[in-house]
Amino acid sequence: MSVAELKERHAAATEKVNNLRERLKQRRQQLLDTNVVEYARSQGKNPVTFGPTDLVCCRTLQGHTGKVYSLDWTPERNRIVSASQDGRLIVWNALTSQKTHAIRLPCAWVMTCAFSPTGQSVACGGLDSMCSIFNLNSPADRDGNLPVSRTLGGHRGYVSCCQYVPDEDIHIITSSGDQTCVLWDITTGLRTSVFGGEFQSGHTADVLSVSINGSSSKLFVSGSCDATARLWDTRVASRAVRTFHGHEGDVNTVKFFPDGNTFGTGSDDGTCRLFDIRTGHQLQVYYQQHRDNEVPQVTSIAFSISGRLLFAGYKNGDCYVWDTLLARVVLNLGSLQNSHEGLISCLGLSADGSALCTGSYDTNLKIWAFGGHRMVM
């Protein structure tokens, strides 16, 4: 078969795949007879309202000298780890604002960090294509630096995100610019499973974020520059369980909803979306119209402990608090007087849902606490 014939067959196959994809999209639209907002209104749900003291900035964590890229809370809620362009991980006591550890990294180009479930170790990854593990109980070296206790190497692209498997300190999942996610055994330093890559059901561009299901730790979802999110089962690494379409730009962040049956996404297309892992359907789009047709990219999302609120950080410095049922913005943290001076690059909620932490390119982290009549929502 000649090269010309192969090209012709490839073009025909591509056209057929695109036609099938469009037919599937149309069929999904036909099956979507309602969305979250329409159902909530039919049930008479009242909108969430916020007063000036319901969510306030109670602490500013200062110590980094570069842009803050990532943060994570410990399960016991009083400690935070942050990663910055200054090439350091800092572990903070969220109650006192004190630093308990300042870890100089082997590679300054860090992109992500995570606390282990027990809070005994932290992990980070970045442009060195490695995931480095630090045991916080290890003695410092003669220069006062905490040594790397384990290096997980195997990705062929930058490590964009890492998350420990809940209730375990021995397994961690990473996502990478090599279009794959990997489940690691930290004890041995070896890859347990690889998700994507040579498999046709995998992502076709850089994977930017992962989120593990809190109700079933065998399931996790990933977001990618191919504008899709994919659901994976660690017991079946050969193919994605389901692929979720809808975004028109890079999916920068994914986060499971508290019930484990749905998850949220944030994208360069300026929208956050809610998907159902059981049906594969898109349940709701969260989008705020801006002046001059500006489309601020979503950098990070988190849900409140009940799921009623969705926190979303944007590259224009906004941080919206969405009412997930009625798709309304109830508060913009970026417009408050004591908010960040740069874009909000990362955010996360404490395990008990009582506080939100945001990280920014202004080098600071801020802790926002619920007050007034809504201590936890």
- Look at 55 and 358; give whichever has higher pLDDT: 358
Per-residue pLDDT, 32: 67
pLDDT band at residue 199 using 50, 70 and 90 as cut-offs: low
pLDDT of residue 124: 98
CA gap 205, 102 in Å, rounded: 34
Q: What is the mean pLDDT of the chain?
A: 91
Report d(CA 363, CA 314) in Å as an integer. 16
pLDDT exceeds cutoff 80 at 374: no
At 34 the pLDDT is 74
In angstroms, the CA 284 to CA 113 distance is 29
- In degrees and rounded to multiples of 5, residue 145 shows phi and psi of -95, 145
Q: What is the pLDDT of residue 372?
A: 54
Instruction: Tell me, yes or no, if the pTM score tops 0.75.
Output: yes
Q: What is the pLDDT of residues 79-97, one digit of tens each?
A: 999 999 999 999 999 999 9
Whether residue 194 contacts residue 168, with contact meaning beta carbons closer than 8 Å, is answered with: no
Residue 317 in this model has a pLDDT that exceeds 60? yes
What pLDDT does 256 receive? 98
Would you place residue 325 in the very low, low, confident or very high pLDDT band (cuts 50, 70, 90)?
very high
Q: What is the pLDDT of residue 106?
A: 87
Specify the pLDDT at position 134.
Answer: 97
Query: In terms of Cα–Cα distance, which of 104, 80, 151, 84 is closest to 342?
Result: 84
Q: How many angstroms separate the CA atoms of 212 and 256, rounded?
A: 7
| Contact by Cβ (8 Å): 321, 340 | no
Residue 240 has what pLDDT?
93
Supply 355's token pair. Answer: 């506080």
| Per-residue pLDDT tens over the stretch 114-163 | 999 999 999 999 999 999 999 999 998 877 789 999 999 999 999 999 99
| Average pLDDT, integer, range 269-297 | 90
Q: What pLDDT does residue 141 have?
A: 82
Dihedral sign, CA of 63, 96, 169, 357?
negative
Contact 205, 179 (CB under 8 A): yes
Residue 112: pLDDT over 70: yes
- pLDDT at position 144 is 74
For range 356-367, the mean pLDDT:
96
Measure the CA–CA gap between 366 and 10, rounded to whole angstroms.
52
